[in-house]
Every structure is written in structure tokens, then in C-alpha cells.
Amino acid sequence: MKKTFLSKFYQKTLTERVKALVSAEVISEEDAIDFNHKLQLPNEIANHMIENQIATYGVPLGLGLNFLIDNKDYVIPMATEEPSVIAAASFAAKTINHAGGFTTTVQNRTMIGQIPLKDVPNVDDAEKVILAHAEQIIERANAAHPSIVKRGGGATAIETRIIEANDTYNSPTFLVVHIHIDTLEAMGANIVNTMVEAIKPYVESLTSGTAIMGILTNYATECLVTSICRMPVHLLERSGFAGEEVRDRIIEACQFALVDPYRAVTHNKGIMNGVDAVVLASGNDTRAIEAGVHAYAARSGQYRSLTNWTKAENGDLLGELTIPLPVGTVGGSISIHPTAQFTSQVLGSPTAKELESIIASVGLAQNFSAIRALVTEGIQKGHMGLQAKSLAISAGAKGDQIDKVTEQLKQANNMNVTTAKELLSKLTD
């Protein structure tokens, strides 16, 4: 990819941006013809994806720029309706790029299926029996989905948990059997669900208990990815703020989000602005990721910041984000949605592990950008321009009118849709 063609991307018109993508060798000349239309989900496909389909719902797709992840440059498609998310991610990525970029580790990529059993006559004995039959359970699970085994994946391990009866919820004691499954490039919900349902009767017969269900858990604690970055303080200087001061304020903001759940939720929402945008653009399941990530944020018993910003021995600012990210590169809507296919093409057909690294790095960039703005000039200054643009469009501005109304709105005392409408009607008088 020739990156230089992507400089000043935001200043280009839509047509120029598509041309720049061709020049940067991100897409071919042929892809560029009727580009927007080609990325739309056709009704014929949409109709097979859900029930009672009547139309498709559009969300803007933009590019996160300047990302250097594990020594590789990326242009990252992001689908989001929120102004300033992509600008913030690209801006943060530029600073982090100057400091050597993001370094990631994918700790594991194993999905977990659960079978909770009730009415087990002796849970301690039953637990031992399950563990003694782990190999047989794994064999039966793999026999239920031979194609994943043929490709090199499949069930790998069995774990058990005992959850004592709880009077508050009037719940019985549960013996929970977890089966760990390597789903390779797939997120794997279908693979996991097929396997757990297949082994349910066997697990019941081994324990003399009753399985109340068999299902994948979205709390994917065996599918964690970590992205880290390290920035020397001179890169953190802002007008009116020394680099050291910005660093210390970022660390303090993070400490606050580690101890206060009210702040942690907003702090993590900012991270998910970036994470969800790439998860959605890549055709993955945003709800699965959201549910797992927030549970992970509460793993200590209190909901906390997902990132950690600290000071290195030499004074650099260190950032780290670890989240469960069970995304796939095949299956579900990924192989049929034209935008998801385009996203994969732009990212260089990443593996699921690489996609995890990309998404976690976008999340870390997003958090850096948000808290850097919050502890220095405030968030509204940066948001102002984009907010003004949304208001201008809401007021009915079209074509050139959008920029004209936006500029005047930024100078106005009241930045709201009424003012935008007044400015627009003056323009069209």
C-alpha cells in the first residue's frame, strides 16, 4: 500500500477519496467504478439474513488512518454513526505511530461451551467423573463436528465449575461443564453449540444430573488480546501543556476510571466506539463482543477501566488494553456482506488473530485520544466542528451549503438545529 496517497484524506471529496484508494493500491480501478453501490448489501441477500426484512439500514463507513500495528501499516475500515470517532482514532494512531506503533499479543483463541447441570446427586464425585472422562467427552464433541477437526481445530479441553445454591435467587447447586474449542478462523458459535448439544446426554449420564442447556459463552476469557503502546513525553505536548503534565493527567484519568464505575463505563464506552466500529465493518457480532468485554471489565467484582495507563521507568507513557475478542474472518454474515468483504480486502485479508490485534489497537487509540482531550482542552472543542456539520445536515443543508452553514454555526452563540435552520434559510434567501 502506498500510504502517501492517503495524506490529507479528510480534505478530499468523496470521489477524490475513492481515487486515492486506487492510487494507494487499496482497491483496483475496477473496484472504484460504482464504488458505494458495490458495497451496499443487496436486498436479495438481506432478505435471507433476517426475517420480515423490508430494507437495509445504512451506517457511514470511513477509514482509520496512520495505524502501525506489530510493524505493519494499516488503513482500517470503521463503520460508525458517531462524529469524531474516526478522526480521534486516526489522530491518536499518528502520535502512537511516531513512537513505534502498537505491539499486540493474542494470548489464546479458544471458545468455551457450557453445560450447566442441576440435581446432581453428588457434585464432588460427579466433577471427578467428568474430569476422568474428559477424553471421551472431547471425542464425542469432535465427532459431532468433524469438518472443524479436519481443518485442524476442534475440542481441546474440559473444565468444571461448581456454583453453590444461592438463596437470594432461589437457585440450586450447579455443576457446570466447560468445553474448550478451537474454532480456527470462525467466531464459532454454531460449531460450539453443535458440540455442546451433542455431548449433553453423555454428560448427563456421567453425572446423573439434568443439563438445563448447552450453549457457547460470550464471556470469552480464553480468547484475550492485548495491545500496548509506549510514548515518549515530547510526543504528548499540547499547546499550553508540557508532555509530562499531559502524561500525568492521562494516568490520573485512568486511575479514576479504575476506581469509579460511573467514570469507567464512559471511559470504556469510548474504547468501544473504536472496537465496535471495526467489529461491525468486519461483519462480526457487536453484541457478542460488547457483552464479553463489559463482563471482563467487571472481573474483579467491580466494573473498572479496561485500559491501564502508567509511567515507565524512563518517564514514557505506557498504555495497555486487554479484552476478550472472539471475532472471526469466516462464517456468519462475513462471507456474504459486500462491506465485510471489502473490509477484509483493505486490511490485507487478516487472520482472526490479526483482526483481534487490529481491533484492540483501535480501542487503545480511541481511549488515548478521548482521555488526552478530556484532561487538556476538553472534549467539546474537538467535537464542535463535526457536531456543527451534523446539525447543518439535520437542518436540511445540501452540497456546498453544508460547509457554509457549518462554518457560520461554529461562530454562532447557540449551536443547535434552530440556529442551523436560520443560517440555512439566510443562505437560500
* Active site positions, annotated: 82, 269, 285, 383
Between CA 358 and CA 349 the distance in angstroms is 12
Helices marked H in 40-84: 43-49
CB 182 to ligand MEV: min, Å:
35
Q: What is the DSSP letter of 40?
A: S
CB 191 to ligand MEV: min, Å:
34
Residue number with CB closer to ligand MEV (83 or 326) = 83
CB 270 to ligand MEV: min, Å:
3
Candidate ranges 11-19, 109-117, 263-271, 276-284; the one touching ligand MEV (CB under 6 A): 263-271
> In whole angstroms, how large is the CA radius of gyration of the chain?
25
> Is the CB of residue 67 less than 8 Å from the CB of residue 76?
yes
CB 385 to ligand MEV: min, Å:
15
Among 15, 136, 266, 349, binds ligand MEV (CB under 6 A): 266
304 binds ligand MEV (CB under 6 A): no
Residue number with CB closer to ligand MEV (185 or 276) = 276
Between CA 47 and CA 342 the distance in angstroms is 21
CB 386 to ligand MEV: min, Å:
11
The amino acid at 64:
G
Residue number with CB closer to ligand MEV (270 or 328) = 270
Candidate ranges 168-176, 269-277, 289-297, 398-406; the one touching ligand MEV (CB under 6 A): 269-277
Residue number with CB closer to ligand MEV (336 or 379) = 379
Among 234, 269, 410, 426, binds ligand MEV (CB under 6 A): 269
Q: In 3D, which of 186, 159, 196, 191 has the Cα closest to residue 175?
A: 159
- DSSP string for residues in 91-132: HHHHHHHHTT-BEEEE----EEEEEEEES-S-HHHHHHHHHH
* Chain residues 44-83 in contact with ligand MEV, contact rule CB under 6 A: 82
> Is the CB of residue 394 less than 8 Å from the CB of residue 420?
yes
Q: In 3D, which of 113, 77, 73 has the Cα closest to residue 96?
A: 73
The H or E element containing residue 334 is: none
CB 366 to ligand MEV: min, Å:
8
Q: Which three cell numbers stand for residue 412?
A: 454562532
3-state helix, strand, coil in the chain (%, to 5): 50, 20, 30
Between CA 59 and CA 114 the distance in angstroms is 35
> Is the CB of residue 369 less than 8 Å from the CB of residue 381?
no
Q: Count of residues binding ligand MEV (CB under 6 A)?
A: 10
Between CA 265 and CA 113 the distance in angstroms is 28
Residue number with CB closer to ligand MEV (153 or 382) = 382
273 binds ligand MEV (CB under 6 A): yes
319 binds ligand MEV (CB under 6 A): no
Residue number with CB closer to ligand MEV (202 or 256) = 256
Residue number with CB closer to ligand MEV (10 or 262) = 262
**Largest separation between any pair of C-alpha atoms in the chain:** 84
* Chain residues 363-422 in contact with ligand MEV, contact rule CB under 6 A: 370-371, 374, 379
Between CA 140 and CA 39 the distance in angstroms is 42
Candidate ranges 53-61, 202-210, 261-269, 317-325; the one touching ligand MEV (CB under 6 A): 261-269
267 binds ligand MEV (CB under 6 A): yes
Place of cell 502508567: 310
Residue nearest to ligand MEV (CB): 270
CB 58 to ligand MEV: min, Å:
20
Residues that bind ligand MEV (CB under 6 A): 82, 266-267, 269-270, 273, 370-371, 374, 379
